[in-house]
Amino acid sequence: MAGPAGGRPLIITEDPLLLDDLLRLCAAAGAEPHVHHAVPERTGAREAWEADGAGVAEGGASVGWESAPLVLVGDDAARRVSGAPRRDGVFLVGRDLDDPLVWQRALEIGAEEVLRLPDAESRLVDRIADVVEGAGRPALAVGVIGGSGGAGASTLACALAVRAARAGERTILIDGDPLGGGIDVLLGGESVQGLRWPDFAGSRGRVGAGALEESLPELHALRVLSWDRGDRVAVPPAATRSVVAAARRRGGVVVVDLPRRVDEAVAEVLAQLDLVLMVVPGELRAVAAAGRVAAGVRMAARDVRVVVRGRCPAGLDPEDVAGLLGVPLAGEVPVEVGLPGRVAEGEPPGAQGRGALARFCDGFWQRALAPAQGVPA
């Protein structure tokens, strides 16, 4: 069912072939657009444009030029809408835009971009789908990776997600390690109904953000995308990229538990993360192993920082560990006594607000989610 007039794209064109293309792309994005077949000639006066309504849609529904969230202007109609008030979200669209004057016409109507079909079809479907989903600010996406085996990366990833959800953030926790046994186990939700990674192996193109969120198991006020306990199923890198992108479009927070081996699918995830936290136990051997992990991660990630877990018996403090790895220090998480036993009894990591793990996570999110501050330094 279509939404209100203000939530549907506006198409302005008299070209029947172009209209067919745009209607097809809107359908692919799940949008039912308003269509204005004939735009009257205008002299450029704002009053004349507004007085005429500037957009009587099919079926008689009225939608204004300024109220539509997205306006797709056919190249044939560019000159006729040049008198419309300037606004964001206007795109000039055509099937043959080799005309060198097309850029001048785009400038005259204040178009954000000129889109040539069929080359720009994927781009246009994405923009239309953003309107349908009400996409706003993307989620803050944080990856967690172990610098060595048994570093506690999955525990930290779970705790970060739990604390973000308890702070009221829309949160999705993604298990990026197909060999990890399923991160839903740490949350006590391995039997909860919902989709797992193998269900997305055949995904092609864009994944709906709202549909993704609603399909995932809900545990401890957050959504979880985990692996199942069946035979291993390979999820193509393109499908991985689409799923993570959909999770980010819902806003809030996305936490990804990453494997230490960076393959093509993991690289797709790393490229979409705002920050990667590498967990390194306070041991010399772990620091040596983490150096190799960091080298691989930094090839795809934009920002990598180290979280030191426990004190190093050889006398290295957290700053020394970060210095040896050449990675900025994000903080230190002391070993929390009794945590494994509580997890075994069904209590997720980070559930105890006064524990060391919860305090670290709360401090991290307070800095990361502070207005206009972004990821903490």
Query: Has residue 140 got a pLDDT over 70?
Result: yes
Taking 70 as the threshold, does the pLDDT of residue 56 lie above it? no
Task: Tell me how far the alpha carbon of residue 354 is from its chain's centroid.
Answer: 31
> Is the Cβ–Cβ distance between 231 and 186 less than 8 Å?
no
**pLDDT bracket for residue 374 (50, 70, 90):** low
- Whole-angstrom CA distances from 213 to 165, 166, 175, 256 are 14, 18, 14, 15
Q: Please answer whether residues 5 and 104 qualify as being in contact, where contact means their C-beta atoms are separated by less than 8 angstroms.
A: no
Q: Which residues pair with 73 in a beta bridge?
A: 12, 92
Whole-angstrom distance, CA of residue 107 vs CA of residue 86: 11
The answer for 168, left when phi > 0, alpha when psi is -120 to 50, beta otherwise, is left
pLDDT over 80 at 308, yes or no: yes
Cis peptide before 138 (omega within 30 of 0): no
Kindly report, residue by residue over 83-101, the tens digit of the pLDDT: 888 898 999 999 876 778 8
pLDDT of residue 135: 63
| pLDDT of 47 over the 80 cut | no
- Whether the CB-CB separation of 35 and 19 falls below 8 Å is answered with yes
57, pLDDT greater than 80: no
The fraction of the chain above a pLDDT of 70, given in percent, is: 87
CA distances to 13, 215, 275, 326 from 359, in Å? 57, 31, 19, 26
- Encoding tokens for residue 263? 């393959």
User: Which of 218, 177, 179 shows the shortest CA–CA distance to 195?
Assistant: 218
256's enclosing H/E stretch is strand 253-258
Give the range with max mean pLDDT: 48-62, 152-166, 227-241: 152-166
Quick one: pLDDT band at residue 371, thresholds 50, 70, 90?
Answer: low
Residue pair 183/342 in contact by the 8 Å Cβ criterion: no
Parallel/antiparallel/unpaired status of strands 113-116 and 275-281: unpaired
pLDDT computed for residue 55 by the predictor: 44
Where is pLDDT greater, at 59 or 30? 30
How far is CA 293 from each of CA 147, 304, 332, 344, 371, rounded to the nearest angstrom? 6, 11, 19, 29, 32
Residue 196 near residue 232 (C-beta atoms within 8 A): no
Q: In angstroms, rounded to a whole number, what is the distance separating the alpha carbons of residues 183 and 267?
A: 20
Q: What is the pLDDT of residues 229-275, one digit of tens each?
A: 877 788 999 999 989 989 998 889 999 999 999 999 999 999 999 99
Q: Using CA of residue 214, residue 216, residue 219, residue 221, what is the dihedral sign?
A: negative
Tokens of 192: 């909860």
CB 349 within 8 A of CB 186: yes
> Residue 317's pLDDT band (boundaries 50, 70, 90)?
confident
Alpha helices in 110-207 (DSSP H): 121-133, 153-166
Predicted confidence (pLDDT) at residue 172 exceeds the cutoff of 50: yes
Please write the tens of the pLDDT for every residue from 323-356.
999 999 999 998 887 888 888 888 899 998 888 9
The pLDDT value recorded for residue 23 is 95
Structural tokens at position 67: 């109220």
pTM of the model: 0.74
| 315, pLDDT greater than 70 | no
Return the bridge partners of 172, or none. 223, 254
β 304-309/275-281 pair status = parallel
Mean pLDDT of the chain: 85
Is residue 49's pLDDT more than 60? no
